[in-house]
Amino acid sequence: MPVSDYEMINAWTQVLKLSKLEAGQTVTVLTGAATHPQTLSSALVAAQSLGAVVNRLDLLPVNADKALSRDSLAYLGTTPLTGNNAAIAALKESDLVLDLMTLLFSAEQHDILKTGTKILLAVEPPEVLVRLVPTAADRERVTKANARLSRARTMTVTSGAGTELTCPMGQFPVISEYGFVDEPGRWDHWPSGFVLTFPDDGKTSGRIVIDKGDILLPQKCYVTEPITLTVENGYATKIEGGVDAALLRDYMSSFNDPEAYAISHIGWGLQPRARWSTLGLYDREATIGMDARAYEGNFLFSLGPNNEAGGSRSTACHIDIPLRDCTVSLDGDPVVRNGKVLDQPQDN
């Protein structure tokens, strides 16, 4: 359904206010060849209306000769900022960067955040952004989940489909995504609504069954027959099944990188307004699939890099896989049971 400019400007205004944008602060809107024009125009109007000094930085695309997909998260090699010192300097001098291009899993992003600059990624189409405008309640719920995950040292995941996974934790920080940036040096993604961490390097073991109806990203498809991953010493050592498994194996082998098979982030979705079914309503190139990543009760795991949390693994291959109907437990205490989130009382 098309979105009016009025609705988009209101949505941006709400997000910018939640992000504590103040009059006189500098906002740089980072754009690229795939930036949605309505998202851009409404962001410029909303930021200016709040009294910000607004700049636009447009960068040329890279990695087209290497990536197999047009999805911005499908290939995490060099970015348009790699070696671009002038652009990096401009972003470091900004109070807030609105990333409408996709700067993710990169050393440049980390360097910018270290200066206190806030970065908000927003690349979904306008109708998804408007439907999933973040709220203060989203932050509260995700923050509570963050506190629980931060205390845990082992995550276990089981499912009726056959998943039995054990993930020792504590080596890496917990990351909350609730859709706005309200602290200096914070990165977030609108839309979102989940909590995640990275398991200890080389420690995850067990079996993951990607069942019928589960989703592969960036393939942006529902699995039609089960795929079984055997996980040993933190890596998927076998990918077994039918055609879906063969397609996944072939895609991953194209990177020619053993680090692509490492277990990356693990966590669960907390956004009740995101829907598992939404991906089936969009053309593959119209969305990056944030509904699938954030819908309430999914167990979201990833294969590939961990440098986003301070690790050393920076493989270009990054695959997100949200699973339905799992039970996720922290130190033996369920936080998600059969795909249903078990919220806990607020910590004192």
Q: 16 CB contacts (<8 Å, ≥6 apart)?
A: 46, 47, 50, 52, 96
Confidence grade of residue 303 (pLDDT, cut at 50, 70, 90):
very high
Give me the percent of the chain exceeding a pLDDT of 90: 85
Distance CA(203)–CA(168), nearest Å, equals: 6
For Cα atoms 85, 86, 87, give the angle at the middle one, nearest 5 degrees.
95
Q: What is the pLDDT, as a whole number, of residue 310?
A: 82
Q: 118 CB contacts (<8 Å, ≥6 apart)?
A: 19, 95, 96, 97, 181, 183, 184, 185, 186, 187
Q: What is the pLDDT, as a whole number, of residue 287?
A: 94
Distance CA(69)–CA(319), nearest Å, equals: 12
Q: What is the pLDDT, as a whole number, of residue 344?
A: 53
Q: What is the pLDDT, as a whole number, of residue 60?
A: 92
Dihedral of CA 67/72/76/81: which sign? positive
Q: Is the pLDDT of residue 45 over 80?
A: yes
| Mean per-residue pLDDT, 65-92 | 86
Q: What are phi and psi of 294, to 5 degrees?
A: -105, -10
Q: Is the pLDDT of residue 347 over 70?
A: no
For residues 155 and 169, is the Cβ–Cβ distance under 8 A?
Answer: yes
**Between 342 and 75, residue with greater pLDDT:** 342
Distance CA(271)–CA(142), nearest Å, equals: 9
Say which range, 202-211, 313-322, 331-340, has the weakest mean pLDDT. 313-322
Distance CA(271)–CA(12), nearest Å, equals: 19
For 211-222, b/e burial (b = at least 16 CB within 10 A) is beebbbbbbbeb
For residues 138 and 271, is the Cβ–Cβ distance under 8 A?
Answer: yes
- Read off the pLDDT of residues 169-221 as tens digits, 9 standing for 90 and up: 999 999 999 999 999 999 999 999 999 999 999 999 999 999 999 999 999 99
Structure tokens at 213: 């109806």
Structure tokens at 299: 């167990």
Q: What is the pLDDT, as a whole number, of residue 308?
A: 79
| Residues pairing with 340 in the sheet | 337
pTM, whole model, 2 decimals? 0.95
Confidence grade of residue 280 (pLDDT, cut at 50, 70, 90):
very high
| Residues pairing with 321 in the sheet | 301
Q: 226 CB contacts (<8 Å, ≥6 apart)?
A: 161, 162, 209, 210, 211, 212, 241
| CB hemisphere CA count around 125 (13 angstroms) | 17
Mean pLDDT of the chain: 94
For residues 233 and 217, is the Cβ–Cβ distance under 8 A?
Answer: no
- Read off the pLDDT of residues 101-135 as tens digits, 9 standing for 90 and up: 998 778 899 899 999 999 999 999 999 999 999 99
Give me the percent of the chain exceeding a pLDDT of 70: 98
For residues 301 and 266, is the Cβ–Cβ distance under 8 A?
Answer: yes
For residues 3 and 126, is the Cβ–Cβ distance under 8 A?
Answer: yes
Confidence grade of residue 346 (pLDDT, cut at 50, 70, 90):
very low
Say which range, 3-17, 74-88, 124-138, has the weakest mean pLDDT. 74-88
For residues 267 and 196, is the Cβ–Cβ distance under 8 A?
Answer: yes
| Mean per-residue pLDDT, 289-302 | 98
Q: Is the pLDDT of residue 345 over 60?
A: no
Q: Is the pLDDT of residue 269 over 50?
A: yes
Q: What is the pLDDT, as a whole number, of residue 212?
A: 98
Which is nearest to 165 in space by CA: 230, 237, 258?
Answer: 230
Q: What is the DSSP letter of 280?
A: G
Structure tokens at 131: 């439907």
SS3 (DSSP) at 297:
coil
Sorted by where each starts, the structural domains of the chain and their CATH numbers stand as 5-131 (3.40.50.2300), 136-341 (no CATH)
Distance CA(308)–CA(111), nearest Å, equals: 12
